Amino acid sequence: MKIMNMVGAINDALDIKLKEDNNVVVFGEDVGVEGGVFRVTENLQKKYGADRVFDSPLAESGIVGTAIGMSIAGLRPVVEMQFCGFIYPAMNQIISHATRMRNRSRGKLETPMVIRMPYGGGINALEHHSESMEALFGHIPGLKVIAPSTPHDAKGMLISAIESNDTILYMEPKRIYRAIKQEVSEDKFTIELGKANVLTQGKDVTIVSFGAMIREVQKAMVMAKEQGISVELIDLRSIYPIDRETIRNSVRKTGRIITVTEGPKSFGLGAEISQIAIEEAFLSLEAPPARVSSYDVIVPLPKGEHHYMQDAYKILYEIEKIVKY
Amino acid sequence: MFEKYNPINKLMFQVIDNDGKVIDKKLMPKVSDERVLKAYKDMLFARTADLQIVSYQRQGRIFTYPPNYGQEAISGATAVIIEEKDWLVPAFREMGAMLAKGVSLKELFLLFMGYEDGNAYKNANKVLPISVPIASQLLHASGIGYEIKYNKKNELVYAFVGDGGTSEGDFHEAVNFAGVWKVPVIFIIQNNQYGISTPTRMQTASESLAIKALAYGVKGIQVDGNDFFAMLKVLEESKKACEKGEGPILIEAVTYRKGAHTTSDDPTKYRTKEEEQEWDKKDPLKRLKQYLIDKKLWSEKEEEKIIEDFKKEVDRQFIEAENYPEYKAEDIFKYMYAEMPQELKDQEHRLKEFYRWKEERVSQTSKK
């Protein structure tokens, strides 16, 4: 075991896969010499050479599009989108090809690749650096969308993603890149994709969240507990596919559900999860599913961002409302 | 060749004239008479199939189809040079090259009849399915090129795009990436003068499409795409260059789309009869046929006979495709992921439940 933060854990996962599988290549903007703007790929080029870990021209469609070709030909590319707000030029390649090649060719061609992308707000960044648009990606048939909330999960989920034969969007909560440290095994381990994780058992209300928001929920839970409210916390881990079973079991037990997500409210992940709760646990529900999400507005620049972001009090507010309903 | 025909010199590479006469013997590609004759027959087969498909479409037996009519020499020459080990990354007007790689006409029919199974290419490897979003496939070619170089393989990628596609960002990114990586990709622009209705002069202010190669630091050349020998010679030289690590190559093959963009398009709206007649003189099959007749390798009589045989073969494969098994519900779910997620299993189950209900419901209604 070794103490790792999320950056170190992701780096370790890449290191393990680069070492054991010569088909794994890592590329993107500034990921080689510099080791990425967040240093996630630091030292990997030195270790594995510039034909395996390299800087690409500055073009997101080009990065994803060429990764599609590489993966069809047998490589397992892990590419980096420098920030979530820069992935949009690559959307055509993701929607039109990466997620369709297997279906289009009736299983003859596959595109095993991972698109890594830091996402989310709260880091005092420029415009286009703080979005959490998981709903956009969850809506793309053929794509798997995952997001870890701890260094341990970050490592195990990334290794699973690289070994998967699907195209996977791996969303990295950059706000907690270095904020959480924990003991992580230095050995190789995997985490089954598509399975949520019940972080805390509780009986009054279920909260479903993912990524950097987990920490905010945990802060709210401490305050809720002081008032005798027991929260069951589910870390979704996989946005698509969603672990319907874990949500069902929890809501049948607690009778209440709150979703906590960073993105805009309308057509968001919260709506999808609430609908699952209604379909799966209608007769157990004691209150309408509630959403803590952001608003249908553009992420404000740093001075206004606190209005936009979810924090422990916004979550506590909804917890108190739902138990009194 | 690439020096003399550097696009900055504004020369178009040609080997035969409009009457099939060799302009300069030294320019001829290395190819046997026998192989040329086979290539001609293959091009004729593609044209026969193409014209017949348009008539099937008019009969309502197949959906929208993009004809190759008039552009057969480009695929015809590619068919001669492409090998089993090489990759073909088509746009959607490369029938001859696809058939040469082992794709069957029946499979192409299946695709345009509405079955993805037509993309499964049972007897062809290293062929990507037709790419509908213009130019997006070129990046895949550059990526495949990277894999070839990475694993030190002796393979090539032949990647196609139209003149309209050169305006897309992905065209730029693909040639740029391939140029930086120095990968063995031959980009072939089929400049057939129109992107649906928009003429090439409205796609770019560049003097030619080939000249764009200079900006990427790669070899480029403009070639008469209706001249089979010129096309083959340029491909031969491009292959040699790639094998020496001098790839990628950007080829602008100048041609003319004699047919419509697709069967839903009406070219009389945007081009004149005079223009079409002018290009008829440069028809690739007409020129190669004259060459073969002059060399006593071919005759009108043989042509008439073989066209009849081809028509029968096209019809045979078409009818086979028409009798293809019904599209099953599970097939829309099966290929989405390596392993089907529970969510999709549930969705498939619900669709089948619905069908069971509907069957019962409809039969009850008809009893009443």
Q: Active-site residues of B: which are they?
A: 257, 261, 270
A-interface mutation test, from B85, B107, B147, B339, most A Cβ less than 10 A away:
B147
Q: Do A69 and B143 touch (CB under 8 A)?
A: yes
pLDDT per residue as tens digits for the range B210-248 = 999 999 999 999 999 999 999 999 999 999 999 999 999
Residue A106 falls in which region: left (phi positive, over 0), alpha (psi -120 to 50) or beta: left
Residue corresponding to tokens 């209706």: B226
Q: Is the pLDDT of residue B131 over 80?
A: yes
Q: Do A107 and B335 touch (CB under 8 A)?
A: yes
**Chain B hits for A240, Cβ within 8 Å:** 343
Q: Do B147 and A89 touch (CB under 8 A)?
A: no
Q: Do B147 and A96 touch (CB under 8 A)?
A: no
**Chain A hits for B86, Cβ within 8 Å:** none
Residue corresponding to tokens 């299993």: B345
| Local structure of residue A89 (DSSP, 8 states) | G
Taking CA atoms, A35 is separated from A11, A46, A54, A78, B334, in Å, by: 10, 10, 9, 14, 39
Closest by Cα among B95, B2, B5 to B48: B95
Helix A6-20 and helix A151-163, axial crossing angle in degrees, nearest 10:
30
Cβ proximity of B83 and B275 under 8 Å: no
Shortest CA gap A10–chain B (Å): 24
Q: What percent of chain A has pLDDT over 70?
A: 100
**Chain B hits for A245, Cβ within 8 Å:** 342
pLDDT per residue as tens digits for the range A282-309 = 999 999 999 999 999 999 999 999 999 9
Please check whether the two domains, A2-184 and A197-324, share a CATH topology.
yes
Fold designation for A197-324: Rossmann fold (3.40.50)
What is the rounded distance in angstroms from the CA atom of residue B126 to the CA atom of residue B106?
18
Cβ proximity of A221 and A312 under 8 Å: no
What is the rounded distance in angstroms from the CA atom of residue A227 to the CA atom of residue B181?
62
User: What are B136's two structure tokens?
Assistant: 């997006």
**Chain B hits for A273, Cβ within 8 Å:** none
Q: Are β-strands A182-184 and A231-235 bridged in parallel, bridged antiparallel, or unpaired?
A: unpaired
What is the rounded distance in angstroms from the CA atom of residue B52 to the CA atom of residue B105?
12
The three-state DSSP-derived secondary structure of chain B is: CCCCCCHHHCCEECCECCCCCECCHHHCCCCCHHHHHHHHHHHHHHHHHHHHHHHHHHCCCCCCCCCCCCCHHHHHHHHHHCCCCCEEECCCCCHHHHHHCCCCHHHHHHHHHCCHHHHCCCCCCCECCCCCCCCCHHHHHHHHHHHHHHCCCCCCEEEEEECHHHHCHHHHHHHHHHHHHCCCEEEEEEECCEECCEEHHHCCCCCCCCCHHHHHCCEEEEEECCCHHHHHHHHHHHHHHHHCCCCCEEEEEECCCCCCCCCCCCHHHCCCHHHHHHHHCCCHHHHHHHHHHHCCCCCHHHHHHHHHHHHHHHHHHHHHHHCCCCCCHHHHCCCCCCCCCHHHHHHHHHHHHHHHHHHHHHHHHHHC
Residue-level pLDDT at A139 = 97
The residues that bridge with A184 in the sheet, in sequence order, are: A2
Q: Is the pLDDT of residue B368 over 90?
A: no
- Over residues B21-26, the mean pLDDT reads 95
- Over residues B7-32, the mean pLDDT reads 96
pLDDT per residue as tens digits for the range A202-256 = 999 999 999 999 999 999 999 999 999 999 999 999 999 999 999 999 999 999 9
Q: Do B174 and A93 touch (CB under 8 A)?
A: no
Average pLDDT over chain B reads 96
Q: What percent of chain B has pLDDT over 90?
A: 95
- A183: three-class secondary structure by DSSP: strand
Taking CA atoms, B214 is separated from B3, B5, B69, B192, in Å, by: 12, 12, 31, 22
Cβ proximity of A28 and A40 under 8 Å: no
What is the rounded distance in angstroms from the CA atom of residue B85 to the CA atom of residue A113?
24
Cβ proximity of B227 and B15 under 8 Å: yes
Residue-level pLDDT at B10 = 96
Q: Are β-strands A238-240 and A167-173 bridged in parallel, bridged antiparallel, or unpaired?
A: unpaired
B350: Cβ contacts below 8 Å, ≥ 6 apart: none
B-interface mutation test, from A48, A71, A88, A104, most B Cβ less than 10 A away:
A104
Q: How confident is the model at residue B365 (pLDDT cuts 50, 70, 90)?
A: confident
Q: Do A244 and B343 touch (CB under 8 A)?
A: yes
Q: Is residue A139 annotated as part of the catalytic site, yes or no?
A: no
**Chain A hits for B148, Cβ within 8 Å:** 73
pLDDT per residue as tens digits for the range A4-28 = 999 999 999 999 999 999 999 999 9
Shortest CA gap B337–chain A (Å): 6
The residues that bridge with B253 in the sheet, in sequence order, are: B190, B223
Task: For residue B342, give the nearest of A62, A142, A241 by CB distance.
Answer: A241
Helix B72-81 and helix B284-294, axial crossing angle in degrees, nearest 10:
60
- Over residues B46-75, the mean pLDDT reads 93
Q: Do B131 and A97 touch (CB under 8 A)?
A: yes
Q: Do A65 and B170 touch (CB under 8 A)?
A: yes
Q: How many interface pairs between A and B have CB atoms less than 8 angstroms apart? A: 140
pLDDT per residue as tens digits for the range A79-111 = 999 999 999 999 999 999 999 999 999 999 999
Q: Is the pLDDT of residue B124 over 90?
A: yes
Cα-Cα-Cα-Cα dihedral sign, residues B33, B34, B39, B43: positive
Q: How confident is the model at residue B367 (pLDDT cuts 50, 70, 90)?
A: confident
Residue of A97, A129, A139, A307 marked active site = A129
Which sequence spans correspond to the domains of chain A?
Answer: 2-184, 197-324
C-alpha angle A175/A298/A56, rounded to 5°?
60
Of 3.40.50.300, 3.30.360.10, 3.40.50.2000, 3.40.50.970, the CATH number of A2-184 is: 3.40.50.970
**Chain B hits for A144, Cβ within 8 Å:** 337
User: What are A180's two structure tokens?
Assistant: 């959480």
Element at A75 (helix H, strand E): none
